[in-house]
Amino acid sequence: MIISDEDLLAEARELIRAEGTAVARVAKHLDDQFVRAVHMVAGCSGRIYVTGAGTSGAMAKRLAHLLATCGMAAFNITPSDALHGEAALAAPGDVLIVFSKAGKSVDINQFAQICRDRGAGIMCVTAEPESELAQFSHLVITLPVDSAGEGEGLLPFGSTLAHGAFGDALTLMAKRLRGYDLAQMQQTHPLGGAQALARNLKPTVEE
C-alpha cells in the first residue's frame, strides 16, 4: 500500500483523536455500577484476581499491578494458567475482575464460572452486557466500543485504552476508600521515579 507522508500523519492524528474520544467516553458511562465496583474492590476481605486475554490481558496485568501498588492483595492470573490449577486459589471473600470485550471467550468464562462456584465475587468489564460472561457475573461494567477508535475498525486500540482508564479510576477510588497513604511508597517502591516523588509526600489521614 502506497501512502504519502501527509496522509500518514493525518490518519495517525485522526486515530489518536478517536482513541482519546474512546477514553473520554468512559467518564460518561460511570454510574451506580461503578460505585458498586469501587466498594466491591475496596471492601474485598480476600484476594483480588484480574484476568483477560490478548490486549485485555495486558490491561488485566496492569490493573493488578496498580491495585497491588496501592496496598491491595491483587494478582494477575491468565486464563490458561487458571485452567491448569491456579483456579484453586479462588475462595469466599475473593473478587475476580474480568476484562473481556465480547464476553465469549470459553477459557475466560470457564475460569470465571469456577471462581463463582468456589464463592468468589465476579466483576466483568465488557462491551456486551448480554454475553454469557455478563449473565453469571455479580457485577457488570459495560463499556461500549466505537469502531472509530479501533485500528481499521477491528484492532482493539481505543477499547483497550478505555479498559485502562476504567481500571485507573477504580484503583484510585478504592485506594481512597481503604485509606491507603501513598507516602508508604517510600518503602514499598524503592526503585524508579515514583520513590523519589514519594519522599515529598507527608503521611495523611484520608477520609
Measure the CA–CA gap between 32 and 36, rounded to whole angstroms. Answer: 6
Angle at 64 between CA 68 and CA 37, to 5 degrees: 95
In sequence order, what DSSP letters do the residues of 15-74 get, joined into one string? HHHHHHHHHHHHHHH-SHHHHHHHHHHHT-SS-EEEE-SHHHHHHHHHHHHHHHHTT--E
Ordered alpha helix ranges (H), the chain: 5-29, 32-42, 54-69, 79-82, 106-117, 132-135, 158-178, 185-188, 193-198
pLDDT interval class at 192 (50, 70, 90): low
Greater pLDDT, 206 or 107:
107
Give residue 190's pLDDT: 67
Pair 47, 97: CB distance under 8 Å: no
Q: Tell me how far apart the alpha carbons of residues 98 and 106 are, in angstroms, rounded to a whole number.
A: 13
Across 12-16, 85-89, 123-127, 143-147, least confident range: 143-147
Mean pLDDT of 119-143: 96
Average pLDDT score, the chain? 91
Mean predicted confidence (pLDDT) in 118-123:
98
Q: Contact, 111 vs 51, CB < 8 A?
A: yes
What is the C-alpha separation between 22 and 17, in angstroms, rounded? 9
CATH architecture of the domain with range 10-180 = 3-Layer(aba) Sandwich (3.40)
Instruction: Please give the grid coordinates belonging to residue 87.
Output: 483456579
- Residue 203 DSSP label: P
pLDDT of residue 200: 58
Residue 183 has pLDDT above 70, yes or no: yes
Is the pLDDT at 12 greater than 50? The verdict is: yes
Please write the tens of the pLDDT for every residue from 160-177. Answer: 999 999 999 999 999 999
Q: What is the pLDDT of residues 36-69, one digit of tens each?
A: 999 999 999 999 999 999 999 999 999 999 999 9
Query: Does residue 86 surpass a pLDDT of 90?
Result: yes
pLDDT value of residue 198: 56
Determine the pLDDT at residue 67.
97
How would residue 207 be classed by pLDDT, with cut points 50, 70 and 90? very low
Domain boundaries, the chain: 10-180
Phi, psi of 185 (to 5 degrees): -65, -15
Distance in angstroms (rounded) separating the CA atoms of residues 203 and 184: 8
